[in-house]
Amino acid sequence: MTCRIDQKKITMELRNYQKRIANWICSHPHACLSVGMGLGKTAAVLHFIDYALKLHPDATALIVAPKRVAETVWMQEAEKWGLERVLSRMILVTARNKAAAEGPEQVKIVSRDNVGLFAGKYFDILILDELTSFKNMKSRRTKAVLAVKAGRRIGLTGTFAPNGLLDTYAQLAACGIAPADEHDFYAWRGRWFVNVNQGRPVAFPDWRPRHGTTPETALAPWLNDIITLTTDDYLKLPSMQTQTISVDLSRQERKAYDDLVATLHFALPDSLDDFAVSEKARFAKIQTLCSGFVYDRDGDYSDSGVVRIKGGGSKIAAAVEFCRAAAAEGESVLLFYNYRETALWLGEALAKEGLRFASVKGGNLDWFSKWNAGELDVLVANPASAGHGLNLQQGGHIVLWLELTYNYEYYAQANARLHRTGQTKPVQVWHLLAKDTVDEGVLKLLQNKDKTNKRVEAATK
């Protein structure tokens, strides 16, 4: 069925920018919404679904989201806004209750990894939360979501081009905006990008924008169905300041680092868009040395594959000292790491220092209530699992990056856990950088990527 919604009747409880989101969905059956963190896109979409159900009581909707967001955020927001019409028709479908996929509930929520349960099924409304989950045309996730039939396909994201323009096509295809056939994607890619490894004796392609490729030109056929709302345009948030702390590696760490860089012949690329798969693997191996350990076999992340550098741990020591000093001033720290070994050794060091800390984990949300109640000195999180949907602004205003990610989306979303609506203090984002290492280069790449992302935002406003 087709939901025809009178734009003038969208609820007046929403803020003006949220009404704009809801009304954009009303007038664009296939839409990509790049909405800044903290602008309440979940609430706007839920009000749209509520109104669709009011007009069409038999309407159906499927919401696809990252696992933790699917399990908590959508139902919590519907309850928060008192949307009983939506709540009474909602159900979470998981791998453990697959039968719910065939249940009578009209609004189904599923994690992005279980969307295959709905292949071939039809919904009046399909919501793709964190649209960048579907940025690869060949991924199982993208193929699964393309197999879902829908009258309206709505994509939501906060970072539409996290690693460059090449990421955008599959997202637009998932929304029903760009053609979903892979041959159309290959044609688009060939027009606007070039494989710089063509003819070289390497196994992987490296696609880079051709000279003259811009967001305006590459996305021209679809710009009318893309809208960007940036946080800075609509909210008056406290400032966000970034700072760096330079950490000298120990003599043993420095020798191990220099030896490995020389052995791997590694150098950071000029931009994150140029970060090839092989370079990412080598980068990860080198970055671990900045934290005092290394995986001694490629791809081996078991305990037996980890070598801890004797005399290592300089960055972990610096992180603990930073957190201790913050706690002494009554401040809490949201600390991001990349590797599980780092988290393990960091936890041991924080406990030894007597600091109150917890790690972001699924299932038990005890850490969530303690953080927002000011009962933790440190909340330890991985940006890949804690970068979306978490409202942590009540618990503090200080972010510390022990290990930087090269993924711009993770970086931006992670910082936005504190820099969002409800934050009352200027947010401080601190980066612990091992001196004269890839740490310093990656921060520069992230800063440059932020500028590129803003160009895409400007082209789609």
Q: Which of 176, 199, 232 is the last residue of a domain?
A: 232
Q: Does 435 lie in the same domain as 309?
A: yes
Whether residue 2 is contained in a domain is answered as no
Question: What secondary structure does DSSP assign to 348-393, as a single string?
Answer: HHHHHHT--EEE--SS--HHHHHHHTT--SEEEE-HHHHSSS---T
Q: Does 225 lie in the same domain as 286?
A: no
> How many angstroms separate the CA atoms of 157 and 37, rounded?
9
Q: Does 322 lie in the same domain as 228?
A: no
Terminal CA-to-CA distance of the chain, rounded, Å? 30
Q: Does 135 lie in the same domain as 253?
A: no
> How many angstroms separate the CA atoms of 379 and 258, rounded?
32
Which CATH number is 189's domain given?
Answer: 3.40.50.10810
Helix (H) or strand (E) holding 399: strand 398-401
Cα-Cα-Cα-Cα dihedral sign, residues 183, 189, 192, 196: negative
* Per-residue model confidence as pLDDT tens digits over 160-171: 887 788 989 999
What are the angstrom distances between the C-alpha of 440 and each of 172, 271, 342?
34, 14, 19
Q: Does 291 lie in the same domain as 216?
A: no
Whether residue 200 is contained in a domain is answered as yes
Domain range for 346 is 240-460
- Nearest alpha carbon to residue 32 among 280, 282, 229, 181: 229
Q: Does 92 lie in the same domain as 59?
A: yes
The pLDDT value given to residue 9: 46
Q: Which of 206, 232, 258 is the last residue of a domain?
A: 232
Whether residue 341 is contained in a domain is answered as yes
Whether residue 1 is contained in a domain is answered as no
If one counts every other C-beta atom within 10 angstroms of the C-beta of residue 366, the result is 10
Q: Does 300 lie in the same domain as 203?
A: no
Q: Does 248 lie in the same domain as 176?
A: no
pTM of the predicted structure, to 2 decimals: 0.76
Q: What are phi and psi of 211, to 5 degrees?
A: -60, 125
Q: 339 pLDDT exceeds 70? A: yes
If one counts every other C-beta atom within 10 angstroms of the C-beta of residue 250, the result is 17
Q: Does 172 lie in the same domain as 43?
A: yes
Q: What are phi and psi of 430, to 5 degrees?
A: -105, 140
- Specify which of 240-244, 257-261, 281-285, 457-461 reaches the highest per-range mean pLDDT: 240-244
> How many angstroms separate the CA atoms of 361 and 390, rounded?
12
Based on C-alpha coordinates, what's the Rg of the chain?
23
* Per-residue model confidence as pLDDT tens digits over 365-414: 788 889 999 999 999 999 987 766 678 999 999 999 999 988 888 898 89
* Per-residue model confidence as pLDDT tens digits over 9-38: 444 478 888 989 999 999 999 999 999 877
> How many angstroms separate the CA atoms of 151 and 122, rounded?
8
Q: Does 369 lie in the same domain as 252?
A: yes
CA angle in degrees (0–180, nearest 5) for 205-209-214: 155
Q: Does 428 lie in the same domain as 294?
A: yes
Report residue 257 as tokens: 């680092």
Q: Does 355 lie in the same domain as 335?
A: yes
Whether residue 282 is contained in a domain is answered as yes
Over residues 443-454, mean pLDDT: 78
- How many domains are contained in the chain? 2
> How many angstroms separate the CA atoms of 332 and 380, rounded?
11
User: Between 185 and 441, whose confidence is greater?
Assistant: 185
Which CATH number is 356's domain given?
Answer: 3.40.50.300
On whether the CB atoms of residues 106 and 113 are closer than 8 A, the answer is no
Whether residue 372 is contained in a domain is answered as yes
* Per-residue model confidence as pLDDT tens digits over 118-159: 999 999 999 999 998 899 999 999 999 999 999 999 999 988
CA angle in degrees (0–180, nearest 5) for 353-359-361: 165
The pLDDT value given to residue 350: 95
Q: Which of 192, 214, 232 is the last residue of a domain?
A: 232
User: Between 306 and 368, whose confidence is greater?
Assistant: 368
Q: How crowded is the C-beta side of 120, counted as CA atoms within 13 Å?
A: 2
On whether the CB atoms of residues 24 and 33 are closer than 8 A, the answer is yes
On whether the CB atoms of residues 287 and 403 are closer than 8 A, the answer is yes
> How many angstroms separate the CA atoms of 436 and 261, rounded?
12
Helices (H), 266-365: 277-290, 314-328, 340-353
The pLDDT value given to residue 168: 94
Over residues 214-234, mean pLDDT: 90
Question: Mapping DSSP to helix (H, G, I), strand (E, B) and coil, where does residue 212 land?
Answer: coil
Residue at 80: amino acid letter: K
